[in-house]
Every structure is written in structure tokens, then in C-alpha cells.
Amino acid sequence: MICVTIGGETRQLEPGASIGQVLADPSAVAARVDGRLTDLTERLEHDAVVEPLTFDSDDGREVYWHSASHLMAQAVKQLYPEAKVTIGPAVPEGFYYDFDVERPFTEADLVKIEERMAELAKQRIPVVHKLLPRAEAVELFRSRGETYKLELIDGLPDETISVYEQGDFVDLCRGPHVTSTGKIKAVKLLSVAGAYWHADEKNRMLSRVYGIAFPSKELLQAYLDRMEEARRRDHRKLGPALDLFSFHEEAGAGLAFWHPKGATVRRLIRQYWEKEHLAAGYQLVLTPHIARAGLWETSGHFDYYAENMYLLEVENEQYVLKPMNCPGHMLIYRTKVHSYRDLPLRMSEWGTVYRRERSGVLHGMMRVRGFTQDDAHIFCTPEQVEDEVHGVVGLSVKMLRAFGFEQFKVDLSLRDPVRRDKYLGADEQWTLGEQSLVRALERVGLPYRRAEGEAVFYGPKIDIKLLDSLGREWQCPTCQFDFNEGKRFDLYYMGQDGRHHPVYLVHRTVLGGIERFMGILVEHYAGAFPVWLAPVQVRVLSVSDVEAGYAREVGRKLEAAGLRVEIDLKSDKISLKVSEAERQKIPFMFVVGGREAARGDVSVRRHGKGNLGAASLESALAQIQEENNVPG
Ligand SMILES: [Zn+2]
Ligand SMILES: [Zn+2]
């Protein structure tokens, strides 16, 4: 008998049963046995700890999607026998497979392949793992003309080669895989693109087919609906459509131009940000956009960040367009001798930085070459570290909630517990830093993931991801210790003992890049900003030219009440004017016709809710003010 622990429960078993038989869980797609990922067909011969993996786990999903890529390759080989298979991995959302075909696949091909995949899934073909002697594996793929597989085998050192077989299809693969094609319940092939073998443009161009698969039709439909909604909210479409921002080929890629409405939203974000930061004891500073190369040698950026920096030549001297705000703040700190009584010092700036990003990674406002960070650096004593970190985390969560984000995912990046030699800074600095981050998260009550070994070489950090209204994750706030830069700039404070002590330095940002945050907000709200943040809060629409004077008077009164107002006096039909205002996602529309003008009323319309009926101007104004909740 062997002793097998499954999900914490230990059982005595006859050796030789497969994991799948022992688990008897139809939702399991693979398993971990003593930590090792494996197929459910593997037989249990020894004592083991078995952890079933379903589609709901990251590992399980990867196995599932990779299995779907085999199914796709099988369908392709049946439909296009001359196609050569290459590789087909799972990706963060779905899978792809690269095929060498004379004619690249088209959308019409994808439909055919998808149908064949469904037929093969219905047949519930067993997926069988085989270990072949090297020569046999070479012969197998040679006889099938799979030259790419032969090349891959060439690169493997092993004497036995692992393959997976399902019916007439066999693939070179380490696995694991689901046990049957019948496990792949719902597939959608999403797109086709060109890709070079080994990502090298000297090689042949392959046809890459992307797809996604789910264990039920409902899950697939929910995914497709979410994708459709994301497309509808795409900030690259909504931004220009709502007259918020634009990009210009003439000016260069990755450089955003903020229009008056976008700039209004940005100003409102900034006003709220400054109010919160001044209240939290931050001081505002401003630093230049360029600085001599020497400053970046002192800071160390020339050592590890040079490829991201724009260099300028001024009077035979090298200058750098700043990629980071930190060195500027270090210089300001160093202009004085700071006593422990002056600390903590919280220096903040909406600092615009420029980074050389490859054109291939640029993406609307989300990834740009020039952007403004809501940056700050905190200089403090070891005794103050914990409260400062707590302050940063608390402020971050408070501010993000003001923008309607309620769910967060937190990563705590710590040292590698074994290889402690690869970090800069003293052991007690790291210990204090790590402990303060943990305590701050616990005081704020945020659950977090401990990422041992993921800290950068100069200090531990907290990263907070927010979940938007579509459940997508966006990394925004960061709180990063730095045991390197303070030393490089020789930053210290005078302690109570009258001696110099190295200052503790924390880099932190709440919103991250403002351009990116704007992109996130546009998609989160689908362009319909809450009243406090809307660039135009109310539009007054006249029904005919007769009411133009009254419409202007209403507009003046709304402006006098501090609202952001537009007046539409165009002689278009009112229905057209209303639908235009709806398209602009303006929260309130006040329609004024003859009856409203005679009574001193307006007819109130709320975006997304429709007509709310006539009201006196005073009570209509009160309706706006009731929703106009500037946070803080
Ligand atoms: Zn595989
Ligand atoms: Zn910094």
C-alpha cells in the first residue's frame, strides 16, 4: 500500500492507480505531485502529495490552453496536410500555434479550423504521453516531414524524447496535457498574424493563429462579451471621440496632446491630488527637464538605465532629458543639513519624464514616451519608516477609492531568502524596510502576496494593482525603498547624538503616469466621468432660436454656481442635439423650450438615465450639486 495525500486528506491506496482515477474530479485538468506538474494519467507508485489543478488555477489554465493549441494543430494537419507545425504555447490569455504554410491563414480558414476542433473534441480522443528513444522520435517526425520538430529535437540534450499523441496527431512536448480532447469544451479562434520562426526576421514568416478555450460555452461567451465591452471602451477610440486627447504622427509616436477637455480632467485630478498631498504633509517642488550627464552618473542611471534615456548635446556637453525625477529631489535635499527634527521630509512633484520605449510597445496613453508621474520621495529616520510607509499605503488606497476603484491586488517584493549577497544596503536596513512594509499592509488591512526574491537590488517594495470595472488589473501605486541612491548622493541627517546618519529614502507614486491613469479612467468609466470629474458637467440645449436668450441666461447662472457648462444654440432639431450630448457623455442636459422659458424651468436629462422631467432652475441646479461630490 502507498500513502497519498490529496487536498490535505491522506489515503492508503494500492500502487498503480492513475491520478485521475484517484481524484475522480471531472473538473481537474492536471495535477501537482510533490510539487511537480503532471498529467492525470500518471500512475501513483509511491507515497505522494497530490494537488489537483482545475481551470480556475493559473497552472491549470495554462495546461488547458496549451492542450487546446495541440487540438488546433491536429485540426490544421487534417485540413491542410502540407502545413508544418512549429510551436504552440499557452499565453496569459489563451494560446497560439505557429504554422508554416504556403498561403497564410485567413479568417475563413479560422472558421473551418474551429469547426474541426469542435468535431475532434466531440470524439473524445485520448491524449497519450509517450517517452521515445531519441532515434525513434527523430524517425517519427522525419517520416511526417515535420522539419521544425527535428530542429527542436536537435536542441534537446535528452536521450528519451517526450511526445503527446492524440489520434492521428503527435507533437513533441514536455506536457502536461488534459487526458482527452473532450475536455476542450468551447473554443474561439481570435486572430491570425505573421510571426518569424524563433522571432528572427531572417527566418521564414509563419502563420500564427491565436485562440482561447473554456470548459463551458457560458464561460467563453462571458469572455467574448468582456472583450467586446473592452473594445467599446478603448481609450484610443473614446479619447479622440470625446475630444480629450490625440496623438500625431507628425510630432512622433508615444507623445500625447491633451485637448481642453482632457486638460480639464487632468487639472481636476491634480487639484484633488494636491489637496490630499498637502494635507498629508507633502511639499511640492519643481525640477528642470534636462540635466548634465554627470548627474545621471552619480545617480547610477547611466549604469543600468542608459538605453531608456534621450541624450542631448549642448555646447559640447552631454545632457539627459530626464527619465526619472529622483536625482532632482536628491539635489534639493542636499542643499541643507537636515536635523532629525526636520524629518520626515516628503518632497513631491508632478514631474514630466521621457523614456525611450520601442515603437512596438507603445499603446495609446497606456505606454508612451513622454509622461508625467505623480512622484514623491520621502526622507526619514529609521524610527519613522513604518509610519511613513503606512501613510503612503493609506493615502494610495484612499485616493484610488475616490476614483471608484474598490478592489486591489498587492504584491510585496522581498529579498531572496537564500541569495542575500546580491542586494545593496545593510542587512538591518532591509529587515527594517521589509518589516515596515508588512506592518503597513496589515495596519491598512490589505491582503497581499509575498513575492520572495522579487525585490530589485536596492530595496524591497509594495506594488498595488487596482481592478477596473471590467475586472482588469492595472499597476498604479508603488512604494519602493532605496538603499542605493541615498548613499550615492551622500544623503544624511544629524541625529540626536549629533552625528551623521544615512537617511532612509522611499520613492513612491500613487497614480503612476498621469497619461496612463487617464487612459485607465476613460476605460473604467467608459468615458462617462462622474460629475465631479466631467470636463463638461451640464449642457444647455435650446429647442429653437426663440429660447436663445433664456438658454444663455441659464448658462450664466450655472457658471456662476461654479459648474462647467456648454450652451448649444445650434438650429438643429432638439432630438439631434440631445443625441449629440449623449454621445459626448455629458452627465446633465438642460433642455429649454417655450414652456420652460415662460416658467423659468428647465427640462432635465441625465446621461444614461434619460428624461427626468421639468424642474425649476434652482432645483435642477441642486440635482447636479448633489452628485458633484469632489472627494476628500
Ligand atoms: Zn504540448
Ligand atoms: Zn524616485
Cα(71) to centroid(ligand 1), Å = 10
Cα(613) to centroid(ligand 2), Å = 53
Confidence of residue 9 (pLDDT cuts 50, 70, 90): confident
Confidence of residue 419 (pLDDT cuts 50, 70, 90): confident
The pLDDT score that the predictor gives to residue 596 is 95
Specify the pairing of strand 186-196 against strand 169-172. unpaired
Active site residue 507: yes
Mean pLDDT of the region 114-119? 97
Cα(102) to centroid(ligand 1), Å = 24
- Model confidence pLDDT, tens digit, residues 33-68: 998 999 999 999 999 999 999 999 999 999 999 999
Secondary structure class of 392 (helix, strand, coil): helix
Ligand closest in space to the Cα of 177? 1
**Residue 7 confidence (pLDDT) above 80:** no
Mean residue pLDDT of the chain comes to 95
Q: What is the pTM of this model?
A: 0.85
Backbone torsions φ then ψ of 366, nearest 5 degrees: -70, -35
Ligand closest in space to the Cα of 67? 1
Mean pLDDT of the region 384-400? 95
Active site residue 373: yes
Cα(330) to centroid(ligand 2), Å = 9
Task: Please give all residues whose CB falls under 5 A of ion ligand 2, grouped by chain where several chains appear.
Answer: 326, 507
Ligand closest in space to the Cα of 461? 2
Secondary structure class of 145 (helix, strand, coil): coil
Ligand closest in space to the Cα of 326? 2
CB atoms within 10 A of CB 469: 14
Starting at the edge strand found earlier in the chain, the sheet holding 9-13 runs: 9-13, 2-6, 48-54, 28-33, 36-38
Catalytic residue among 277, 329, 369, 461, which?
461
Ligand closest in space to the Cα of 152? 1
Active site residue 289: no
Catalytic residue among 39, 375, 482, 568, which?
375
Cα(162) to centroid(ligand 1), Å = 10
The pLDDT score that the predictor gives to residue 420 is 81
Which residues are within 8 A (CB) of 20 and not within 5 positions of it... i.e. 6 or more apart? 28, 40, 41, 179
**Residue 632 confidence (pLDDT) above 80:** no
Ligand closest in space to the Cα of 178? 1
Cα(203) to centroid(ligand 2), Å = 42
Confidence of residue 24 (pLDDT cuts 50, 70, 90): confident
Cα(74) to centroid(ligand 1), Å = 12
C-alpha–C-alpha distance, residues 86 and 237, integer Å = 36
Cα(481) to centroid(ligand 2), Å = 9
Cα(520) to centroid(ligand 2), Å = 23
- Model confidence pLDDT, tens digit, residues 169-228: 999 999 999 999 999 999 999 999 999 999 898 999 999 999 999 999 999 999 999 999
Cα(424) to centroid(ligand 2), Å = 17
**Residue 17 confidence (pLDDT) above 80:** yes
Catalytic residue among 149, 208, 326, 584, which?
326
Starting at the edge strand found earlier in the chain, the sheet holding 461-467 runs: 283-284, 345-354, 370-380, 504-513, 473-482, 461-467, 407-414, 449-452
- Model confidence pLDDT, tens digit, residues 71-91: 999 999 999 999 999 999 999
C-alpha closest to that of 379 among 493, 531, 300: 493
**Residue 426 confidence (pLDDT) above 90:** no
Active site residue 271: no
Catalytic residue among 61, 208, 507, 524, which?
507
Share of the chain above pLDDT 70, in %: 100
Active site residue 377: yes
Confidence of residue 532 (pLDDT cuts 50, 70, 90): very high
The pLDDT score that the predictor gives to residue 418 is 84
C-alpha–C-alpha distance, residues 2 and 5, integer Å = 10
Cα(86) to centroid(ligand 2), Å = 44
More confident: 9 or 562: 562
Catalytic residue among 377, 415, 564, 577, which?
377
Catalytic residue among 373, 429, 537, 584, which?
373
Cα(259) to centroid(ligand 2), Å = 29
Ligand closest in space to the Cα of 482? 2
Active site residue 166: no
Cα(442) to centroid(ligand 2), Å = 25
The pLDDT score that the predictor gives to residue 8 is 79
Ligand closest in space to the Cα of 72? 1
The set of cell numbers assigned to 590 is: 438642460
Cα(328) to centroid(ligand 2), Å = 9
The pLDDT score that the predictor gives to residue 237 is 96
CB atoms within 10 A of CB 295: 19
Cα(73) to centroid(ligand 1), Å = 10
Cα(70) to centroid(ligand 1), Å = 6
Ligand closest in space to the Cα of 486? 2
Which residues are within 8 A (CB) of 382 and not within 5 positions of it... i.e. 6 or more apart? 432, 504
Backbone torsions φ then ψ of 379, nearest 5 degrees: -110, 125
Mean pLDDT of the region 609-632? 94
Secondary structure class of 349 (helix, strand, coil): strand
Catalytic residue among 346, 355, 524, 607, which?
355
Taking CA atoms, 289 is separated from 248, 352, 624, in Å, by 22, 7, 41
C-alpha–C-alpha distance, residues 208 and 186, integer Å = 20
